[in-house]
A and B are shown apart, each in its own frame.
Chain A
Amino acid sequence: MTGKRKGYITKISGNMVSARFDTFVVQNEVVYIIHGGERLKSEVIRVRGKNAEMQVFESTGGLKVGQEVELTGELLSVELGPGLLGQIFDGLQNPLPQLAEKCGFFLKRGVYLEALPDDARWEFTPSAKKGDKLRAGEKLGHVTEKIFKHYIMVPFNLRGMLEVVSVAKKEKYDLKEPIARLKDENGSQHDAFLQQTWPVKIPIEAYSEKLKPSTPLVTKMRLMDSLFPVARGGTYCIPGPFGAGKTVLQQLTSRHAEADIVIIAACGERAGEVVETLKTFPELTDPKTGKPLSDRTVIICNTSSMPVAARESSVYTAVTIAEYYRQMGLNVLLLADSTSRWAQAMREMSGRLEEIPGEEAFPAYLESRIASFYERAGVVKLHDGSTGSVTIGGTISPAGGNFEEPVTQATLKVVGAFHGLSRERSDARRYPAIDPLISWSKYKSFINIDQVGKAHSILRESNNILQMMKVIGEEGTSLANYIIYLKGEFFDFVYLQQNAFDEVDEATTDERQSYIFDFIYRILDSEFEFDNKEGALHFFQKIRQEFRGWNSAQWRSPAFTKIEKDISSLVEGAVKKKEKANA
């Protein structure tokens, strides 16, 4: 572009700045505000005549009417290439550790660093040959990043069939050296690099088709996997009041879920929680690979006191990086905590724009924004036939813990699974506090569907009986009903609840889940006979205690086998009695 396009500030209100331009303006283009030596990043969000309104990703203190702004013509983008794994970025993809080295304790505004270090050199192994015809997203070769083959692909923004004119030979290159030259259908030539950039708000669609999510994503949380499963490439949400354990749940999932890569987007939440993740992950080992967990993780963090507008960009940055790794045929899990803070950032900006507010002052486009974000999840078939997936799990922090609010409702419409946390369960220290009576999932579990149905119905009946007992007392309840109540409680205690502080119990593999569920199902399905309620209570308390030990015994260890035998004989004892009585 010849000559920089410029404008001047006319209005400042919070993190919204208006400017007047004598030139053309592109919606969503990045604009820099020039404030002395500082250049503050902002994004055009509305154009009206010669005026445009921008959301500023920094504090606006000290800015003045009449100051110059510089248009870039580029949409807000991220850098994609080897070196992302293990990084900690802010919402604009600034690497935070490097920022700390440069600026010390505080996040100085207007300082932007390269997301990927320019000086890093990667050994590139070509796979494409001269003369090959490739489409955007197809592989040119790879470099090795941590434990992954990081494929270098034809830039996503090129259209049509491209002919490979030349490919670099196997050697070390930095991110800015061309590694291939491609010719498009019109005959123009393009260079490909180890790195490419992509605008965050546009989904990457360099694949052949989108498939229906069907394989379960094992999170090793029994309540989720068995009753309310999430599929690879699916979406789920976790709404819950404060203190119900949303963040702990996300942290456990980020550690144990069977995904190749986990992207954590800490959006508008406590800094302390991110600190815990980023200080502990390098020390925790991934049982699957034996490498530190940080090797498969990217953290995007824009905590609650960081600039509000960057919350929005943080979720988009995260999902774009997720899509990038999906293009390599990997299964990526994106955890966003919390999407409500992102919605609030939209509300704040909408208020400053003086748009007509919808419910609870959220903007009218809240639903469509949420929907298009979750729609970026999915399983895709790539051009070479392999598949990759992005699974999105978002927490929601509803005001007053009331799920009837706009963000929860808008999200429920578009996700495939709903894990609703309840204050009652967390107060009773029943963790994870996902309420089995309100949650649902549209995906298939690896557990038999009829058995899952039966378990659900016992939980419901048990709760009904409990509610009744609160009114008429234990005396007024029949023994048969009392046993159903105990079965429900038993199932909750030994299967649905999981102790996050027990190193065995905190994560249960799918193999073990299937086995244990089957075992419990037989107990739930058995008809017991007891002399009285006390006998029934005593029996269930006893097997419950045994089960606790069983849950913390290593899978298939001698202790595991022994406890299993003990429980079996206890159960048999109780069932046999009934058969004798019948005989």
Chain B
Amino acid sequence: MHKVYTDIIQIAGDVITVEAEGVGYMDIAEVITRHGSSMAQVIRLDEKRVSLQVFAGSRGISTRDKVRFLGHPMRIASGDDLMGRIFNGSGVPLDKGPLLTDNIIDIGGPPVNPTKRIIPDKMVRTGIPMIDVFNSLVESQKLPIFSIAGEPYNELLARIAIQAEVDVIILGGMGLKHDDYLFFRDTLEEHGALSRSIFFIHTASNPTVECLLVPDISLAVAEEAALRGKRVLVLLTDMTNFSDALKEVSITMEQVPSNRGYPGDLYSQLAARYEKAVDFDTAGSITILAATTMPGDDVTHPVPDNTGYITEGQFYLKGGVIEPFGSLSRLKQQVNGKTRDDHRTIMDTMIQLFASYRETVEKQSMGFQMSSWDRKLLKYGKLFEKNMMSLEVNIPLEEALDSGWEILAECFTPEETGVKKSMIEKHWRGK
């Protein structure tokens, strides 16, 4: 049935070209070498010449090796059997469990009809005040964490995952350090979340291009679960590695790069993945949290830049805390009016005062004199950093709002906060 071809006429980078007929674009093939076999995907057809990207890399491939076309696009098993399982970037089990063959689905399926989406309105509680109070996460949101390498973004993802009330957690690791992979596994296990998790892990030691499949596999499995009514949280870390793999392949294919070597379709490629985040009309939802490391803390770098245009906000992780400035949840307005009547007031007031605190700190560092108002702000800023910003803090939203009022009362008189009278009367905790 599946014809085997042995005419490999070109090997360049991780792309091989073989002469073959009747091959479908984007179809999957198996490349069999004496070192084992690898999956490969058709990325260009030109008459008889078929170019394939080899996920395990081209090292050791001989021009006499066999290529077997499977006649279908990349597929993956789906369903509840995957829960608690760990796979590699091509969907092969890493956990000594059985190979799954039920409910096979194509990856990279068609986009959702916009009219079948609904306006998201359910908040995802994380226990992190900088998120819950200031930039609420909303079910079906797509949100990256922007940070430089070395920031605790994986810790943050893991924390949100164990606290979020979702049915399924899917972790797509791309270029993940082995330690980080173990960290995710152990943390989720410790908190009893491993049984509702599915891992697709590509570690830094695996060939780079293999990570290209991770987002598609993760999201295809997520989509299948969401259509069954499940609420799914997908964690993708790190999307910069994914983009770099795209860059590598496009350069090998001699495509004209657009910006710092990245292909011109980087935006469309990233959007095709992030746009899988959805709240289905009459079914479940997919929420996507991703990590995007920014080389040199530069938000104008093509990867964070294109990501920012696609996602619904971003969390900016810097110095081990979520920065209130630069972080944004575009969907927060959909939910923070319905939590508690003082939510928006606390959010606006505390951020404005914190901005003033930052200005005062700047003034202080330049040697300007501190007024009594400046001293109040300095006290406020310290308390805010300790009781709100620190990632050590783990409290529900309501407690965080209460804590906000306490901080305000400790530092200011009601008038100084600029809060509306009616709010003050209801919530002020002063003497």
Residue B255 interfacial (CB < 8 Å): yes
CB distance from A497 to the nearest CB of B (A): 15
| Interface locus among B114-122, B123-131, B153-161, B163-171 | B114-122
B110 touches A59 (CB 8 A): yes
Partner of B110, one of A60, A66, A109, A304: A109
Known interface pairs A62-B73, A306-B111, A427-B325; A397-B309 also in contact (CB < 8 Å): yes
Known interface pairs A60-B25, A242-B309, A271-B112; A105-B119 also in contact (CB < 8 Å): no
Contacts of B110 in A (CB 8 A): 59, 106-109
Residue A264 interfacial (CB < 8 Å): no
Known interface pairs A62-B27, A351-B255; A344-B268 also in contact (CB < 8 Å): yes
B22 touches A66 (CB 8 A): yes
| Closest partner residue, chain A, to B42 (CB atom) | A12
Partner of A12, one of B45, B259, B263, B313: B45
B45 touches A242 (CB 8 A): no
Interface residues of B in 248-263 (CB under 8 A from A): 255-259, 263
Partner of A106, one of B24, B109, B120: B109
Partner of A402, one of B46, B265, B300, B313: B300
Q: How far is the CA of A508 from the CA of B353 in the complex (A)?
A: 30
Contacts of A242 in B (CB 8 A): 305, 308-309
| Interface locus among A93-101, A128-136, A451-459 | A93-101
Q: How far is the CA of A276 from the CA of B118 in the complex (A)?
A: 8
Contacts of B271 in A (CB 8 A): 268, 304-305
B275 touches A96 (CB 8 A): no
CB distance from B367 to the nearest CB of A (A): 10
B114 touches A275 (CB 8 A): yes
Residue A287 interfacial (CB < 8 Å): no
A348 touches B268 (CB 8 A): yes
B368 touches A104 (CB 8 A): no
Interface residues of A in 285-335 (CB under 8 A from B): 301, 303-306, 308
Known interface pairs A64-B22, A351-B264; A274-B112 also in contact (CB < 8 Å): no
Most buried by A among B21, B27, B108, B275: B275
Contacts of A279 in B (CB 8 A): 118-119
A105 touches B114 (CB 8 A): no
Residue A382 interfacial (CB < 8 Å): no
Q: How far is the CA of A108 from the CA of B120 in the complex (A)?
A: 24
Interface residues of B in 184-223 (CB under 8 A from A): none
Known interface pairs A10-B47, A105-B280, A360-B259; A88-B264 also in contact (CB < 8 Å): no
Q: How far is the CA of A13 from the CA of B300 in the complex (A)?
A: 30
| Closest partner residue, chain A, to B300 (CB atom) | A400
Q: How far is the CA of A304 from the CA of B312 in the complex (A)?
A: 13
Residue B383 interfacial (CB < 8 Å): no
Contacts of B46 in A (CB 8 A): 10-11, 13
CB distance from B6 to the nearest CB of A (A): 19
B268 touches A308 (CB 8 A): yes
B310 touches A63 (CB 8 A): no
A61 touches B264 (CB 8 A): no
Residue A543 interfacial (CB < 8 Å): no
Contacts of A62 in B (CB 8 A): 24-27, 73
| Closest partner residue, chain A, to B280 (CB atom) | A105
Q: How far is the CA of A270 from the CA of B267 in the complex (A)?
A: 12
Q: How far is the CA of A301 from the CA of B115 in the complex (A)?
A: 10
Partner of B267, one of A59, A272, A304: A304
| Closest partner residue, chain B, to A10 (CB atom) | B47
Residue A487 interfacial (CB < 8 Å): no
B113 touches A348 (CB 8 A): no
Most buried by B among A10, A14, A105, A271: A105
B117 touches A275 (CB 8 A): yes
B112 touches A107 (CB 8 A): yes
Contacts of B300 in A (CB 8 A): 399-402
Partner of A304, one of B118, B268, B278: B268
| Closest partner residue, chain A, to B73 (CB atom) | A61
| Closest partner residue, chain B, to A95 (CB atom) | B115
Residue B162 interfacial (CB < 8 Å): no
A400 touches B305 (CB 8 A): yes
Partner of B283, one of A105, A308, A401: A105
Residue B92 interfacial (CB < 8 Å): no
Residue A364 interfacial (CB < 8 Å): no
A305 touches B275 (CB 8 A): yes
Q: How far is the CA of A132 from the CA of B424 in the complex (A)?
A: 75
Q: How far is the CA of A308 from the CA of B270 in the complex (A)?
A: 13
Known interface pairs A242-B308, A272-B312; A278-B115 also in contact (CB < 8 Å): yes
Q: How far is the CA of A114 from the CA of B246 in the complex (A)?
A: 38
Known interface pairs A276-B119, A427-B325; A305-B111 also in contact (CB < 8 Å): yes
Contacts of A10 in B (CB 8 A): 46-47
Most buried by A among B27, B47, B368: B47
Q: How far is the CA of A268 from the CA of B309 in the complex (A)?
A: 10
Contacts of A361 in B (CB 8 A): 256-259, 264
A344 touches B24 (CB 8 A): no
Q: How far is the CA of A357 from the CA of B258 in the complex (A)?
A: 9
Partner of B23, one of A60, A65, A241: A65
Q: How far is the CA of A400 from the CA of B304 in the complex (A)?
A: 9
Interface residues of B in 287-338 (CB under 8 A from A): 300-302, 305-306, 308-310, 312-313, 325-326, 328, 330-331
On chain A, the number of residues with a Cβ less than 8 Å from chain B's Cβ atoms is: 61
A64 touches B264 (CB 8 A): no
A96 touches B114 (CB 8 A): yes
B119 touches A270 (CB 8 A): no
CB distance from B262 to the nearest CB of A (A): 10
Contacts of A304 in B (CB 8 A): 267-268, 271-272, 275, 310
| Closest partner residue, chain B, to A105 (CB atom) | B116
Q: How far is the CA of A268 from the CA of B44 in the complex (A)?
A: 24
Contacts of A401 in B (CB 8 A): 300, 305
Residue A473 interfacial (CB < 8 Å): yes
Residue A243 interfacial (CB < 8 Å): yes
Q: How far is the CA of A347 from the CA of B268 in the complex (A)?
A: 12
CB distance from B350 to the nearest CB of A (A): 14
Known interface pairs A279-B118, A348-B265; A64-B24 also in contact (CB < 8 Å): yes
Q: How far is the CA of A100 from the CA of B25 in the complex (A)?
A: 27
CB distance from A284 to the nearest CB of B (A): 14
| Closest partner residue, chain A, to B250 (CB atom) | A351
Q: How far is the CA of A65 from the CA of B263 in the complex (A)?
A: 25
Contacts of A344 in B (CB 8 A): 264-265, 267-268
Contacts of B256 in A (CB 8 A): 351, 357, 361
A63 touches B24 (CB 8 A): yes
Partner of B47, one of A11, A59, A397: A11
Interface residues of A in 319-372 (CB under 8 A from B): 341, 344-345, 347-348, 351, 357, 360-362
B113 touches A12 (CB 8 A): no
Residue B429 interfacial (CB < 8 Å): no
| Closest partner residue, chain A, to B331 (CB atom) | A272
Q: How far is the CA of A19 from the CA of B21 in the complex (A)?
A: 16
| Closest partner residue, chain B, to A426 (CB atom) | B328
A97 touches B115 (CB 8 A): yes
Residue B227 interfacial (CB < 8 Å): yes
Residue A449 interfacial (CB < 8 Å): no
CB distance from A338 to the nearest CB of B (A): 8
Residue B382 interfacial (CB < 8 Å): no
Residue B48 interfacial (CB < 8 Å): yes
Known interface pairs A360-B258, A473-B368; A278-B111 also in contact (CB < 8 Å): no
Q: How far is the CA of A491 from the CA of B327 in the complex (A)?
A: 28
Contacts of B116 in A (CB 8 A): 100, 104-105
Contacts of B73 in A (CB 8 A): 61-62
Q: How far is the CA of A397 from the CA of B307 in the complex (A)?
A: 12
Contacts of A63 in B (CB 8 A): 24-25, 45
| Closest partner residue, chain A, to B267 (CB atom) | A344
CB distance from B301 to the nearest CB of A (A): 8
Q: What 7 new A-B contacts, CB under 8 Å, besides A280-B119, A304-B271, A427-B325?
A: A62-B24, A63-B24, A104-B116, A303-B275, A305-B111, A308-B268, A357-B256
Can you list 12 pairs linking A and B with CB atoms under 8 Å apart?
A11-B46, A63-B24, A65-B48, A100-B116, A104-B113, A271-B114, A272-B117, A272-B331, A275-B118, A279-B119, A351-B255, A400-B301
